[in-house]
Structure 1
Amino acid sequence: MAPAADPDGTALLHDLARAAGAEERALAHLPPKPRRTPEEQRSLDELREEARRLRFSFVDAHAERIYAELTDGGADRPRLSDLVARAAERWPGLLPSEERMAAESRCAQRDKEGLEVDQAIFVHGVLGARRAGRHLLESMRLPTRRALELLAEFSARGRVDLGPVLLERAAPAAHLTLTAPDTLNAETDALVAAMETAVDLVLLDPEVRVGVVRGGPVTPARYAGRRVFSSGINLAHLHQGRISYLDFLIGREIGLVSKVLRGLYLPPETGCWTGAHGHKPWIGAVDTFAIGGGMQLLFTMDRVIAGSDAYFSLPAAREGIVPGAGNLRLPRLAGNRLARQVILTGRRIRADEPAAHLICDEVVEPGALESAVDIAVEQLAAPAVAANRAMLSVAEEPPDDFRRYMAEFALQQGARLYASDVLEKVSGFVGPRPDREAR
C-alpha cells in the first residue's frame, strides 16, 4: 500500500528519477562492461540497486493505477512488450528506454548491463496486482496480428509455412511441426513467435478439432535424419544475448503456452460472451527427446505419446534458470518427490521406465508413433472433449494461481538471467545442448 504521506507516489517518483539519473550519469562515464575494474562495477551496482529498490516500491504500491493509465482503464489491450514500452515512455527512469534496450540487445549476455531486471520488477508488480494481472493475462491470449493476417490463407489451403514451424491441416486435426533442424528444434525468439501464430490458427480454424505438436527431422550428425521433439531453449542464442526476457521467457508462458492450456481469449464485445474461444485438445508426439521447454509444453497437453527410445529432461536448474511454469505443473503431474529430482538435480526420465507413465500417456515403438497419434486424434475429436478439457484446466490450475506464480517467476527469472553463475555457464554454450545432454 502507498504511504499516507505519498498517496499517488509523486515523492517516490521524484526519488526514483534522481536515483535513475545518477545511475545513467555514472554509466555514461564508464567504459563498456568488459573493460571495467571491479571497483567501477561495484560503484555502479550500488547506484543501480538504489534505483531498483525505488522502482520496486513504486510499482508494488501503484501497479493497478499504472496499468489503468497505460491501458485507458482496461479499454486497450496491449501485449506485454508494448505495455512495457508505453511505461518506459510515460515514466522515464521507471524502465529503460527503447534506445537503451536496442543497444543492450546487440551485446552478448555477459556484456549486458542487465536492463531486463528493471523490466522484471515492472512485470512482477503488474502480474501481482489482481485486476491488472488478470487483464494482462487475458490480453496475452488474444490472437496475434500475424495469425489473423494468415487465417484466410490457412483456411483455404490448409497449410502455412512459418519458417521454424510448419502447420498442416488434416481434418479433424492440425499438425504443428517444429522445423529448426540444424539446432535440434531448439527454442528461439523466432520459433516461439511462429509457434504462437500456429497455435492461434489451430484454435481459430473451425475445421480443426485437435492440435498435434511434433518435431521434424534434424541434421546434426548424432541425430541426423531422426525426428526430435525439442531441445529446449537455444543456449547459443542465450549466450549471444538473443533470448528476449519479455517476448520469450515471459511471453512464451503467458502467450503461447497459456493458449495451449486455456484457449484464446476474446473480449465480450467481440460477441463471445463466455470470454473463451477455441478451447481444443492437444497431442504431443515425442520422438527422441523433449528437453527443457519441450518437456514443459507437454504438461499442458491432453495426450502425450512417446517413442520407447525417447526421454524427458528439465536441466534448467543446472543451467541456473527456472524452467518456466514447470515448477508449478510438474509436481501436480508427477508428485513432489519426482518433480524435485527432475527440476533440482536434472534427473532424466526415459520413456521405457515406470516413472514415464507420469509424464506420458502411451509409449509405443518409434515406428508406431504416427498410427498412435491417428487413434488419439479420433478419440479426442469428440464434440464434448473441448468443453471438458476446459473445465479440467480450470480445476487443475485456477487462473489466479497461475497469475501469482508468474508474478514471482517474472522476478526470479529476471534476476537469474544476470547471476554470475548463469553468465559463466552460458558463455560456454556455442552449439546445441543435447549432444552434451545425451552422453
Structure 2
Amino acid sequence: MTPDKTTGRATSLPAAPPLGGTLDEDASVLAEQAERGERILARLPAPVDRDAGQRNLTAAVFDSCRQTREQFMRRHTDAVYDALTDGRTRRHRLTELVFAAAERFPGLVPDRGQMDEESARVQAHKEGREIDQGIFLRGILRSPTAGAHLTDTMLMASPRALALVDCYRRDGRVDLGPVLLERRAAAGHLTVRNPHCLNAEDNALIDAMETAVDLVLLDEQTHVGVLRGDVMTHPRYAGRRVFSAGINLLDLRDGRISFIEFLLRRELTYLSKIFRGLLLPPAEATYAVPSLQKPWVAAVDSFAIGGGMQLLLVFDRVIAADNAYFSLPAAQEGIVPGAGNLRLGRLTGSRLARRVILSGRRIRAIDPEAALVCDEVVAEDAVDDAVEAAVQDLDNSAVVANRTMLALAEEPADQFRLYMAEFAFTQACRLYSEDVIGKVERARSRSVARRQPPA
C-alpha cells in the first residue's frame, strides 16, 4: 500500500500475492486483499462526491481486488461451488448462491449490507459491486460441473409458483400483478399488464413471468402457453394492445434493475423454461418424464422491442399484427440483449442479425425479412382467431416431443451455459459503463420533458 506523503493514508492497493495454496489458504489471501481495499474505500466520500483523483483510486482498488477474485475463481470454482452446495446435494438459486458465497468466502462477492447500500443509489452513483457478482457467476457457469448444476437448478419451479400451483389448478386463474394468467380450454394465457411503461420489463415483471411460465408447465390441464400484451392506457396507444417495450430504462437509471434478479434470472429461468422445459426434482422425475415441456405461442401487437423481441426467439409460433414491428436496439442502449446474440442469427442469418443488433435495424411485420422472426402476419382484428388456430395446431403430444429435439439440436445446453458465463460478466460491466449511464440519464430527461406543461 502506498502512503500519501502529506496524510500518510493509503493512495493505492498493491497486488495480492499470487494464489497457489489450498482453497482455504487462497480464500484468506482474497479476504485480506478485499479488506484492505474496503478500508481505502471507507475513507473516501460517497461515489457521487468523489473528485477525479478519488475516482481513479476507486478504480485501482476494484481492479486489484477483481484480479484476485478472477484468479481465485479460476483455481477453485468447483471447490467453491461444492462448499456452497454441500457437494451439489443442495440447490441454491442465483441470489441465495451469491449471498452464501459472501458469507463463506468474505471478499469474493458483496455481502447483503453492501448490496443494500447499492440498491439505495441511482445507477450513476453506485460502486458497481454487481461486477464482482458477474466475476463469480462467470466462474461458476464456465465449469461443466458447477455450471450445469446451477443451470439445472434455475430450470426448476420457483418457490412462488409451487405455492400457487394448487390455486391455479383449481381456479384456472392467477393474478400476479404485472401478469394475469388464465386457462382457456387447453391454453394458459399470460397477459402482460405494465401499462404505465408500455409493458416494459422491470424486476416485478420478471418475477411474475417466471411464476406464470412455471404454472403453465406444472398444470396438467394446460397444454399450450400463450403470451400477449394487454390493452394500454398510454395516450399514444390508448385502446391498443402492446407486446413489449423492452427494458424499463427509467428503472435502470434509478438503480432499480437488478443484475441478478432481472438480467440473469430472466435468461436462466422463464426464457430457458419456455425453450427447454421445467426440470423436475429427482423425487418427482421418472426415466420417461425428467422435465415438463409444452409448446408456446406469442401474439405481437404494436411492437416487440428489446427484451420483447428476445422472447420471440424461444417461441414455437409467433403471430404478429400487420402494423407491428420488431427491434433489438441493444447497441443504442449500450447493453447486451440477453441471449439474443446467441439466437437471432440462427433464425435470420448472421448479416441481418448484425444489422438488427449492432445498428438498430427495425423489421416491420410487413417486410419480407419478418418471415424470419414470425410465422404469421394478420390484420390487427384477426390476431385472436390466429392465436386460437395456433393453439389447436400445437396441442399435440408429437409437437412436444419434436420441439424438445429441436431445442437440443439448435442450442445444446453446454453452448448456452458457456454463452451465459460470458454474458454474466460482460452485462455486469456494461451496466456501469459511462455510455450506458449517459444514455439512461438522457432517457430520463426526455421523459421529464414530455411531462412538462407547454410554455
User: What residue is the counterpart of 1:104 in the other structure?
Assistant: 118
Counterpart of 2:350, as a letter, is: N
**Offset at residue 220 of structure 1 (A):** 1.5
Is the contact made by 1:189 and 1:243 (CA closer than 8 Å) also made in structure 2? yes
Which runs of 5 or more structure 1 residues have no equivalent in the other structure?
none
User: What residue is the counterpart of 1:244 in the other structure?
Assistant: 258
**Offset at residue 8 of structure 1 (A):** 2.1
1:252, 1:275 → 2: CA distance?
25
Question: Counterparts of 1:190-269 in structure 2 under 5 Å?
Answer: 190-269=204-283
Question: Counterparts of 1:89-100 in structure 2 under 5 Å?
Answer: 89-100=103-114
Structure 1 residue corresponding to 2:146, chosen from 132, 135, 158 = 132
> Could you say what the CA RMSD is over the residues aligned between the two structures, in angstroms?
1.7
Bigger shift: residues 123-132 or 261-270: 261-270
1:183 aligns with 2:197: yes
User: What residue is the counterpart of 1:117 in the other structure?
Assistant: 131
**Offset at residue 23 of structure 1 (A):** 1.6
Structure 1 residue corresponding to 2:351, chosen from 318, 323, 337 = 337
1:417 aligns with 2:431: yes
Is the contact made by 2:264 and 2:424 (CA closer than 8 Å) also made in structure 1? yes
Counterpart of 2:27, as a letter, is: L
1:25 aligns with 2:39: yes
Q: Secondary structure at the match of 2:116?
A: helix
Q: Secondary structure at the match of 1:31?
A: coil
User: What residue is the counterpart of 1:68 in the other structure?
Assistant: 82
1:274, 1:88 → 2: CA distance?
39
2:164, 2:326 → 1: CA distance?
33
1:282 aligns with 2:287: no
1:145, 1:421 → 2: CA distance?
37
1:159-178 CA distances to partner (integer Å, 9 max, x unpaired)? 01000000000121110000
Structure 1 pair 274–252 and aligned structure 2 pair: CA distance change class (3 A): farther
Structure 1 residue corresponding to 2:420, chosen from 401, 406, 416 = 406
1:292, 1:152 → 2: CA distance?
34
**Offset at residue 426 of structure 1 (A):** 1.0
Structure 1 pair 5–78 and aligned structure 2 pair: CA distance change class (3 A): closer
Bigger shift: residues 194-203 or 40-49: 40-49
User: What residue is the counterpart of 1:386 in the other structure?
Assistant: 400
1:187, 1:202 → 2: CA distance?
20
Question: Counterparts of 1:287-326 in structure 2 under 5 Å?
Answer: 287-326=301-340
Structure 1 pair 229–266 and aligned structure 2 pair: CA distance change class (3 A): same
**Offset at residue 47 of structure 1 (A):** 1.3
Which runs of 5 or more structure 2 residues have no equivalent in the other structure?
1-16, 451-455
1:58-102 CA distances to partner (integer Å, 9 max, x unpaired)? 012211111111111111111011000100011111111101101
**Offset at residue 341 of structure 1 (A):** 0.2
Normalising by structure 2, we get a TM-score of 0.93
Question: Counterparts of 1:355-370 in structure 2 under 5 Å?
Answer: 355-370=369-384
2:418, 2:433 → 1: CA distance?
23
User: What residue is the counterpart of 2:4 in the other structure?
Assistant: none
User: What residue is the counterpart of 2:443 in the other structure?
Assistant: 429
**Offset at residue 20 of structure 1 (A):** 1.0
**Offset at residue 311 of structure 1 (A):** 0.2
1:295-320 CA distances to partner (integer Å, 9 max, x unpaired)? 00100000000000000010111111
Is the contact made by 1:219 and 1:225 (CA closer than 8 Å) also made in structure 2? yes
Is the contact made by 2:19 and 2:29 (CA closer than 8 Å) also made in structure 1? no
User: What residue is the counterpart of 2:12 in the other structure?
Assistant: none
User: What residue is the counterpart of 2:360 in the other structure?
Assistant: 346
1:413, 1:193 → 2: CA distance?
20
1:392, 1:274 → 2: CA distance?
18
Q: Secondary structure at the match of 1:321?
A: coil
2:42, 2:24 → 1: CA distance?
27
Counterpart of 2:174, as a letter, is: V
**Offset at residue 219 of structure 1 (A):** 1.5
Bigger shift: residues 383-392 or 323-332: 383-392
**Offset at residue 272 of structure 1 (A):** 2.9
1:38 aligns with 2:39: no
**Offset at residue 407 of structure 1 (A):** 0.4
1:4, 1:229 → 2: CA distance?
51
Counterpart of 2:440, as a letter, is: V
Q: Secondary structure at the match of 2:103?
A: helix
1:57 aligns with 2:71: yes
Normalising by structure 1, we get a TM-score of 0.96
Structure 1 pair 228–5 and aligned structure 2 pair: CA distance change class (3 A): closer
1:161, 1:61 → 2: CA distance?
46
By relative contact order (CA 8 Å, sep 6+), the higher-ranking structure is 1
1:152 aligns with 2:166: yes
The percentage of aligned residue pairs carrying the same residue is 53
1:8, 1:233 → 2: CA distance?
42
1:264-319 CA distances to partner (integer Å, 9 max, x unpaired)? 11133324335632200000000000001110010000000000000001011111
**Offset at residue 331 of structure 1 (A):** 0.4
1:225, 1:108 → 2: CA distance?
33
Is the contact made by 1:265 and 1:275 (CA closer than 8 Å) also made in structure 2? no
User: What residue is the counterpart of 1:270 in the other structure?
Assistant: 284
Is the contact made by 2:333 and 2:436 (CA closer than 8 Å) also made in structure 1? yes
Is the contact made by 2:280 and 2:292 (CA closer than 8 Å) also made in structure 1? no
2:242, 2:130 → 1: CA distance?
32
**Offset at residue 124 of structure 1 (A):** 0.2
Structure 2 residue corresponding to 1:8, chosen from 17, 22, 36 = 22
**Offset at residue 38 of structure 1 (A):** 0.4
